[in-house]
Amino acid sequence: MKRITRRKSSSLVELNITALLDMFTMLLIFLLINYSTASSTNIKASGYLSFPKSTSDKKTVDMLSIIVDKYNIIVDGRLVVKHNKGILAENEIEDGYKIVPLYDALIKYSEKTKYIASQNKKMEAEGKVILQMDKDIPFSLLRQVMYTAGQAEYNDFKFIALKK
Amino acid sequence: MLNERRKIPALNNVNLVPLLDFVVAVIPVLLLSISFFEYVSLDTSLPVFSVEEESVVTKEDNKPKIGLTVVITEQGFMIGGQAGLLSEDGNSVIKRDSKGLYDYSTLNKKLLEIKKKYPEEWSIILIPDPATRFEDIIATMDASREYISFDENGRAKKKTMFPNVVLGGGVL
């Protein structure tokens, strides 16, 4: 059998971290540049939500968001109603277009915004909404969502898409 | 007087560990908050709902002058408007291509012909079929909104065509 001889290190070897620091500095600069151009924080694609692509150049802004993913309709981060491939349950629809749970959620949000606007003159209740929709959602559901939002005094819409 | 020159000692073994600690802490924060995809927005107004024979347009700004309309159907696009407005070759129907996809480039060309004929027109009404996918509506909006022209140097430049897109809601 061979004998393994262990050498005792005479002193602690100093690591040269300059090259590592160079790399981190470059990475930090790159991330900071991209961070400044990053779009609004409340837009996030997920497994249930894939955005269409567009040639538009308009940047997104932060405002009330209605998310219509493959299964759900979400207002301001809260689940409002579920749908099945763009079709809603009959008891959730009124007059063929108005989605009752969505209408109630938007009215509640609108009242809250109006109250804040009455207390804070710098803030305005604008009636604008961004629609984050999955690319496969049929127009029939989009029409119902837009009609309902219109009934709740949200008349200005912005669709969200990925830049081509 | 004699100037005594002192030798500045070389900076040996600067302690970079605190700096490295800071950078390592900042990078994960930036990586979590960064968005690697750029999102854009497209403006539109409420759907136009026609009640019986009365046509209702929600915003005064969006009142069409020539009533340029693109109907998106299962078969393709149909361009229409008041007083039988058609594209110059008289063919207002753009069928899907051989692969079954919507022909956005032909639609863009036909709309450009109309734009040249009516340069003061800025509005367009899209009437999608209820089954039309959101992706196809966005692509049609893109084809209606702008076209690409090339300057003398061959550089591509986007030019506005019909920026006021109104979605047609159908009949109540």
The pLDDT of residue B53 is 44
Flag whether B70 is in a domain: yes
Task: Give the mean pLDDT of chain A.
Answer: 84
Tell me, yes or no, whether B83 lies in a domain: yes
Which ipTM score applies to this complex? 0.78
The answer to whether A16 faces chain B, any CB pair under 8 Å, is no
Mark yes or no for CB contact B27/A24 under 8 Å: yes
Fold classification of A53-163 (topology level): Nucleotidyltransferase; domain 5 (3.30.420)
- Residues of chain B positioned with their CB less than 8 A from the CB of A58: 40-43
Q: How confident is the model at residue A100 (pLDDT cuts 50, 70, 90)?
A: very high
Q: For residue B63, give every residue at least 6 positions away whose Cβ sits within 8 Å of its Cβ, in sequence order, or none.
A: B57, B123
CATH number at residue B82: 3.30.420
Answer whether residue B8 is part of any domain.
no
State the average pLDDT over residues A53-78.
Answer: 89
Distance of alpha carbon A164 from alpha carbon B164, whole angstroms: 21
Sequence length of chain A is 164
Q: How confident is the model at residue A108 (pLDDT cuts 50, 70, 90)?
A: very high
Q: How confident is the model at residue B52 (pLDDT cuts 50, 70, 90)?
A: very low
Cα separations in angstroms, A85 against A46, A71, A161, B18: 17, 7, 20, 54
The predicted-structure confidence for A35-48, as pLDDT tens digits, reads as follows 655 555 566 666 78
Number of separate domains in chain B: 1
Are B58 and A157 within 8 A, CB to CB? no
Q: Predicted confidence band at A20 (pLDDT cuts at 50, 70, 90)?
A: confident
Total-model pTM = 0.76
Q: Is B56 in the A-facing interface, judged by CB distances under 8 Å?
A: no
Q: How far apart are the CA of B18 and the nearest CA of chain A, in angstroms? A: 11
Range of the domain at B80: 45-171
User: For B7-18, what is each residue's pLDDT tens digit?
Assistant: 666 666 677 788
Q: Is residue B14 part of a domain?
A: no
Model pLDDT, residue B171: 46
Contact status of B141 with chain A (Cβ, < 8 Å): yes
